[in-house]
């Protein structure tokens, strides 16, 4: 079992504090969902864990089995087992999806022990088939001209090929139609198991109809303010966030800031 | 008043060079008259690059003698790498100024295709040379460098494709430069008659670090009605040359001239690429990629002039600048009066890898007709940190991520080169230059 531990995390962007002491522990074989209103720092959490250059961690730790990933470069974090399915994946013209994926897989392997081309192609074909992606997408340039749905599917493809220990999914469901959502969910469910822990960030309860979380957390004002099981998500769906604010005495101060 | 420049050779020396090569008397006269013009004419004025202090005139020797290659086994390894020695049916190798190897398939000869070194062409195809050599695409008296070229031309290739002949396999030319004292006044003349088609790929390879001579190359591609010419090139000429490389296209009705150029010289180079779309429905798709490094000074002026109705001109220029390299990317789309329904598009993008490097993208659209479409895009910037972050988040190191982004950026030209070995060579040159 592996553990991802987020301790007292404080994060600023352009000098403004977004995360204000966030705590969360995720084990492999668990799926966690983070929900919350706009502008409460959900995406900031994902980006800060992965090491986006715009986000500055001012306090706290993110540990994988006790080792602080915040001391690592972005690529080292990935090699330590983290994967972030991004809300807005970059487009890289001139680099084919297949070449990129092979580089990513080989980056984790020793020189001389690179994945054989045949084995790679077999796995890629199988996984693309599973995600109902047309074969030609492997030869298209990475995310270039992909539709929103294709980009999200491509993020899941990468996750399934790279097989990280912890997958963080930043609004993987946004902009997806129901068919695409089903396929993306199928991919994530396929990953579930002993060697994989997952943190899903979402606005919408609908995603959780397809991927049942083990734990649900509510974020407000840069912190996790409430945690529970799958039933918490259902109550949020039915009643919104107002009752939590009242319960915890939170005033409507931050819901107006834009999503960072 | 213009000041006469003292040129490296006298009229007498030019004439005796011509005689030594058994050129027709008319060509000797042509050279001498061009030499007189070269003395009087001014240098070209590439926009935004001041070349008045560049020395385009002097060299250690006008021509150097090199041994021919009796077999392809004798080629240097880097030259072998660009040639499919078994499969390539039509191949010309020039070693410095010496025609060193030629192979033409019987099939092409039987169809009347001419594929021969320029000196042989001047001797044996005087009628065609007289008709097309600096008469249609490039004129002798455009400026000092075209005239100087005409006077001193000492190498190059002539390709003639008769009417209705479609050549499937690419013609390959390699200009090997293994003598640091050599100067290259190469003339490439490609004439494609009506409804013919040809793909031509040339490679310039210097095998040493520091050159002392001149490069003054003029290329003329003439595509008659409905002819298609695809022209690929990879230039890797050494530092020390002063290089002027003019590649020009002349497209008649329904003709098509496409360019894929990997412009990888280490020499200071003025690149002048113009395609004239003369006929209706003529098209040109121009793609170039470059990497500048060291203290290099580069000017890439690409022009597509469109006279024909419904013509289409596409310019794509991608450059990577590192160290203290300085580069100007001039792109000119010019639609002439009467060129109705013409379309002119251009894109220039420069990626800067160091603080001291300079790259200016200068897109110009000149439109003298109402009923046309045109567009341009230009950008100069660094490698996008968000792209690097994305790639690194998949475990790819920063160095490898940068490498992927840069290769991807230059990919449009690599992908369009029609010979596998040349494609691979360009990828390797990019790798070496950006490292």
pLDDT tens digits, residue range B32-62? 999 999 999 999 999 999 999 999 999 999 9
Among the partner residues B386, B393, B404, nearest to A50 by beta-carbon distance: B393
Record: contact B395-A86, CB cut-off 8 A: no
Counting residues of chain A whose pLDDT is more than 90, the rounded percentage is 90
Record: contact A50-B411, CB cut-off 8 A: no
Among the partner residues B394, B398, B405, nearest to A162 by beta-carbon distance: B394
Q: Say how far apart CA B96 and CA B182 lie, in whole Å.
A: 6
Among the partner residues A79, A90, A107, nearest to B387 by beta-carbon distance: A90
Q: Say how far apart CA B384 and CA B382 lie, in whole Å.
A: 6
What per-residue confidence (pLDDT) applies to B5? 73
Nearest CA of chain B to the CA of A85: how many Å? 9
Q: Which two tokens stand for residue A186?
A: 């199928």
Helices B398-416 & A97-107, crossing angle to 10 degrees?
Answer: 150
Kindly indicate the confidence band of residue B6, based on its pLDDT and cuts at 50, 70 and 90.
confident
What per-residue confidence (pLDDT) applies to B1? 42
B-chain CB neighbours of A93 within 8 Å are 408-409, 411
Q: Which two tokens stand for residue B25?
A: 């008397």
B:337-396 residues touching chain A, CB 8 A cutoff: 384-387, 389-396
Summarised one tens digit per residue, pLDDT across range A147-165 is 999 999 999 999 999 999 9
Closest CA to B149 of B222, B228, B308, B43: B43
Summarised one tens digit per residue, pLDDT across range B340-356 is 999 999 999 999 999 99
Q: Say how far apart CA B406 and CA B408 lie, in whole Å.
A: 5
Summarised one tens digit per residue, pLDDT across range A60-112 is 999 999 999 999 999 999 999 999 999 999 999 999 999 999 999 999 999 89
Q: Please give the residue of chain B at the shortest CA–CA distance from A94.
A: B408
What per-residue confidence (pLDDT) applies to B160? 98
DSSP summary character for residue B165: -
Q: Say how far apart CA A202 and CA A206 lie, in whole Å.
A: 9
Summarised one tens digit per residue, pLDDT across range A1-28 is 999 999 999 999 999 999 999 999 999 9
Summarised one tens digit per residue, pLDDT across range B270-301 is 999 999 999 999 999 999 999 999 999 999 99
Output Rg (C-alpha) for chain A, integer angstroms. 18
Record: contact A75-B412, CB cut-off 8 A: no
Record: contact B387-A92, CB cut-off 8 A: yes
Q: Is the pLDDT of residue A260 over 90?
A: no
Q: Please give the residue of chain A at the shortest CA–CA distance from B405.
A: A92
Record: contact B400-A51, CB cut-off 8 A: no
Kindly indicate the confidence band of residue A189, based on its pLDDT and cuts at 50, 70 and 90.
very high
Rounded mean pLDDT, B10-34: 97
Q: Mean pLDDT for chain B?
A: 96
Closest CA to B322 of B282, B299, B295, B286: B295
Report CA-CA distances (Å) from B307 to A99, B123, B247, B252, B369: 43, 35, 19, 10, 10
Q: Is the pLDDT of residue A258 over 70?
A: no
What per-residue confidence (pLDDT) applies to A252? 65
Rounded mean pLDDT, B107-125: 98
Q: Please give the residue of chain B at the shortest CA–CA distance from A87.
A: B390
Q: Say how far apart CA A82 and CA A74 lie, in whole Å.
A: 10
Please count the CA atoms within 13 angstroms of the CA of B376 that sit on its side-chain side.
Answer: 20
Q: Mean pLDDT for chain A?
A: 94
A-chain CB neighbours of B390 within 8 Å are 86, 89-90, 92
B:235-294 residues touching chain A, CB 8 A cutoff: none
Quick check: B328 and B321 in contact, CB under 8 A?
no
If you search the block for the tokens 């392997």, which residue do you land on? A109
Q: Is the pLDDT of residue A205 over 70?
A: yes
Q: Say how far apart CA A48 and CA A18 lie, in whole Å.
A: 11
Among the partner residues B389, B397, B407, nearest to A107 by beta-carbon distance: B397
What per-residue confidence (pLDDT) applies to A2? 97
Rounded mean pLDDT, B54-76: 96
What is the number of CB-based contacts under 8 A between chain A and chain B? 79
A-chain CB neighbours of B412 within 8 Å are 94
A-chain CB neighbours of B383 within 8 Å are none
Q: Say how far apart CA A146 and CA B114 lie, in whole Å.
A: 47
Record: contact B395-A141, CB cut-off 8 A: no
Q: Which domains does chain A have, with CATH numbers?
A: 3-90+165-248 (3.40.50.300)
Separate counts of helices (H) and strands (E) for chain A: 9, 12
Quick check: B196 and B166 in contact, CB under 8 A?
yes
Q: Is the pLDDT of residue B10 over 90?
A: yes
Nearest CA of chain B to the CA of A96: how many Å? 8
Record: contact A78-B394, CB cut-off 8 A: yes
What per-residue confidence (pLDDT) applies to B355? 94
Among the partner residues B404, B410, B412, nearest to A103 by beta-carbon distance: B404
Whole-complex ipTM: 0.95
Q: Please give the residue of chain B at the shortest CA–CA distance from A90.
A: B387
B:66-125 residues touching chain A, CB 8 A cutoff: none
Q: Identify the helix (H) or strand (E) that includes residue B297.
A: strand B297-306
Beta strand B297-306 with B326-335: parallel, antiparallel or unpaired? parallel
Rounded mean pLDDT, B118-141: 98
Strand order across the A215-220 sheet: A82-85, A166-170, A197-201, A31-35, A215-220, A223-228
Closest CA to B250 of B314, B304, B302, B300: B304
Rounded mean pLDDT, B122-144: 98
What per-residue confidence (pLDDT) applies to A203? 85
Summarised one tens digit per residue, pLDDT across range B213-268 is 999 999 999 999 999 999 999 999 999 999 999 999 999 999 999 999 999 999 99
Record: contact A90-B407, CB cut-off 8 A: no
Nearest CA of chain A to the CA of B290: how many Å? 15
Residue B204: how many other CB atoms lie within 10 Å: 26
Chain centroid, CA B231 distance in Å: 9
Q: Please give the residue of chain B at the shortest CA–CA distance from A160.
A: B394
Beta strand B91-95 with B326-335: parallel, antiparallel or unpaired? unpaired
Quick check: B356 and B326 in contact, CB under 8 A?
no
């Amino acid at each position: 079992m592996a553990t991802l531990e987020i301790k007292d995390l404080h994060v600023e962007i352009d000098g403004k504090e977004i995360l204000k002491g966030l705590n969360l522990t995720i084990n492999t074989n668990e799926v966690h969902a983070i929900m919350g209103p706009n502008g409460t720092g959900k995406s900031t959490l994902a980006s800060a864990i992965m090491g986006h250059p715009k986000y500055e961690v001012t306090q706290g730790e993110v540990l994988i089995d006790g080792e602080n990933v915040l001391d690592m470069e972005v690529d080292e974090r990935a090699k330590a087992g983290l994967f972030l399915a991004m809300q807005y994946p970059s487009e890289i013209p001139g680099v084919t999806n297949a070449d990129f994926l092979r580089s990513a897989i080989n980056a984790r392997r020793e020189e001389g022990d690179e994945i054989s081309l045949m084995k790679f192609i077999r796995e890629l074909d199988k996984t693309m088939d599973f995600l109902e992606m047309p074969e030609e997408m492997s030869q298209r340039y990475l995310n270039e001209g992909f539709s929103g749905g294709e980009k999200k599917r491509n993020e899941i493809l990468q996750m399934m090929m790279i097989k990280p220990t912890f997958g963080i999914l930043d609004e993987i469901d946004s902009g997806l139609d129901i068919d695409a959502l089903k396929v993306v969910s199928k991919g994530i469910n396929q990953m579930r198991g002993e060697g994989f822990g997952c943190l899903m960030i979402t606005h919408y309860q609908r995603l959780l109809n397809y991927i049942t979380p083990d734990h649900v957390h509510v974020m407000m004002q840069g912190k996790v303010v409430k945690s529970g099981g799958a039933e918490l998500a259902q109550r949020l769906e039915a009643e919104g966030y107002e009752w939590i604010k009242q319960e915890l005495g939170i005033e409507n101060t931050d819901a107006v800031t834009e999503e960072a | 008043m213009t000041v006469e420049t003292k040129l490296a050779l006298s009229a007498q020396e030019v004439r005796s060079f011509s005689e030594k090569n058994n050129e027709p008397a008319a060509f000797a006269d042509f050279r001498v008259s061009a030499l007189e013009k070269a003395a009087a004419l001014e240098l070209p004025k590439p926009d935004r690059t001041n070349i008045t202090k560049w020395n385009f005139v002097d060299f250690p020797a006008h021509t150097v003698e090199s041994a021919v290659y009796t077999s392809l086994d004798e080629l240097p390894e880097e030259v072998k790498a660009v040639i499919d020695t078994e499969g390539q049916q039509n191949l010309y190798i020039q070693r410095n100024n010496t025609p060193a190897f030629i192979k033409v398939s019987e099939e092409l000869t039987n169809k009347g295709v001419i594929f021969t070194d320029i000196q042989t062409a001047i001797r044996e195809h005087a009628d065609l040379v007289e008709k097309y050599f600096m008469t249609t695409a490039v004129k002798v008296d455009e400026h000092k460098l075209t005239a100087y070229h005409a006077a001193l031309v000492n190498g190059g290739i002539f390709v003639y494709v008769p009417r209705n002949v479609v050549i499937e396999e690419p013609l390959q030319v390699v200009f090997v430069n293994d003598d640091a004292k050599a100067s290259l006044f190469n003339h490439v003349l490609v004439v494609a008659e009506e409804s013919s088609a040809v793909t031509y790929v040339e490679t310039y390879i210097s095998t040493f670090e520091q050159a002392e001579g001149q490069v003054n190359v003029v290329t003329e591609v003439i595509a008659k009605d409905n002819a298609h010419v695809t022209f690929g090139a990879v230039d890797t000429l050494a530092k020390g040359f002063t290089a002027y490389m003019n590649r020009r296209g002349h497209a008649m009705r329904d003709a098509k001239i496409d360019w894929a150029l990997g412009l990888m010289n280490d020499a200071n180079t003025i690149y002048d690429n113009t395609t004239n779309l003369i006929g209706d429905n003529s098209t040109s798709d121009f793609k170039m990629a470059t990497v500048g490094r060291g203290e290099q000074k580069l000017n890439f002026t690409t022009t597509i002039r469109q006279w024909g109705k419904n013509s289409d001109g596409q310019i794509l220029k991608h450059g990577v600048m590192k160290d203290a390299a300085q580069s100007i990317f001039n792109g000119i789309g010019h639609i002439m009066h009467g060129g109705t329904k013409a379309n002119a598009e251009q894109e220039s993008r420069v990626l800067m890898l160091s603080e001291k490097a300079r790259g200016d993208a200068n897109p110009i659209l000149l439109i003298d007709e109402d009923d046309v479409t045109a567009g341009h895009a230009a950008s100069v910037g660094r490698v996008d940190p968000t792209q690097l972050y994305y790639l690194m988040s998949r475990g790819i190191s920063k160095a490898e991520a940068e490498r992927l982004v840069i290769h991807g950026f230059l990919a449009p030209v690599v992908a369009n080169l029609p010979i596998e070995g040349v494609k691979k060579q360009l990828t390797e040159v990019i790798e070496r230059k950006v490292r």
